């Protein structure tokens, strides 16, 4: 397991040990539902957050950073297929290549120096819908340089696999990311995603680092979310 991936995968074997699944045919929705219930099990969410926050001190106090935490509750494996940077770039820890069901991924997105810009980017993961057909989840964050004039935003989009190859990133930015607020969700073809962020200009007096906002994205199935 990669150093920036946290949690024990939630599989059929996990569910078979639960009384309520005895003698039942286990589906992707079942696995997704249990992954949502166990989102914070064994402090995996805490460990993911501690990891990404440990990356911040490597950068100057004035550098805009976004602590990104993403969670797989789709019932199946998610695989990294791409990313896009409008402003900034991925930090020292790469995008997690694989997230099994029930796992958190953590990474830091940082401002490009010396430009006076923010941390604005997106990542895309491929998984499966309830029928086993491939789908792509896009999660995007907007963490501007000047928060006196602007504020943090997020957006998410789910489409058929390989949709990102022809995606109009300018349109995503102009019509969604730069206009949305601090929470966004998407339902498509039985898939569901939600993204949320905070924002902060506070300087930590102990470390002299700006407290960077957290971006959290959850990828799952619609019928697991509403059970």
Q: Provide the CATH number for the domain around residue 185.
A: 2.60.270.20
State the Cα–Cα distance between residues 71 and 83, nearest whole angstrom. 17
What percent of the chain clears pLDDT 70, i.e. is strictly above it?
A: 93
Burial annotation 57-89 (CB, 10 A radius, 16+ → b, else e):
eebeeebbbbbbbbbbbbbbbbebbbbbebbbe
Check if the beta carbon of residue 169 is closer than 8 Å to that of residue 163: no
pLDDT of the residue at 163: 84
pLDDT of the residue at 203: 58
pLDDT of the residue at 200: 60
Q: What predicted TM-score, i.e. pTM, was given to this entire model?
A: 0.94
pLDDT at 20 over 80: yes
Tokens representing residue 33 in the block: 């539902």
Split into its structural domains, the chain has a count of 1
H helices within 63-211, ranges in order? 169-172
Where does the pLDDT of residue 81 fall: very low under 50, low under 70, confident under 90, or very high at 90 and above? very high
> Which domain does 212 fall in, by range?
5-225
């Amino acid at each position: 397991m990669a150093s920036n991936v946290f949690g024990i995968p939630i599989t059929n074997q996990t569910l078979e040990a639960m009384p309520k699944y005895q003698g039942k045919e286990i589906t992707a929705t079942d696995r997704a539902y249990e992954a949502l219930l166990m989102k914070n099990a064994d402090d995996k969410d805490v460990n993911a957050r501690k990891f990404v926050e440990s990356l911040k001190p490597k950068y100057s106090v004035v550098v805009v950073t976004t602590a990104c935490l993403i969670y797989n509750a789709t019932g199946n494996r998610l695989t990294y297929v791409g990313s896009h940077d409008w402003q900034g770039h991925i930090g020292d820890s790469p995008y997690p290549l694989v997230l099994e069901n029930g796992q958190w991924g953590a990474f830091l997105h940082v401002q490009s120096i010396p430009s006076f810009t923010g941390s604005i980017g997106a990542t895309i993961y491929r998984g499966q819908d309830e029928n086993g057909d491939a789908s792509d989840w896009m999660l995007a964050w907007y963490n501007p340089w000047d928060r006196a004039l602007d504020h943090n935003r997020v957006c998410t989009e789910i489409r058929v696999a390989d949709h990102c190859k022809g995606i109009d990133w300018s349109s995503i930015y102009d019509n969604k990311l730069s206009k949305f607020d601090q929470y966004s969700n998407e339902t498509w073809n039985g898939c569901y995603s939600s993204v949320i962020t905070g924002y902060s200009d506070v300087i930590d007096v102990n470390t002299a680092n700006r407290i960077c906002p957290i971006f959290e994205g959850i990828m799952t199935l619609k019928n697991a979310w509403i059970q």
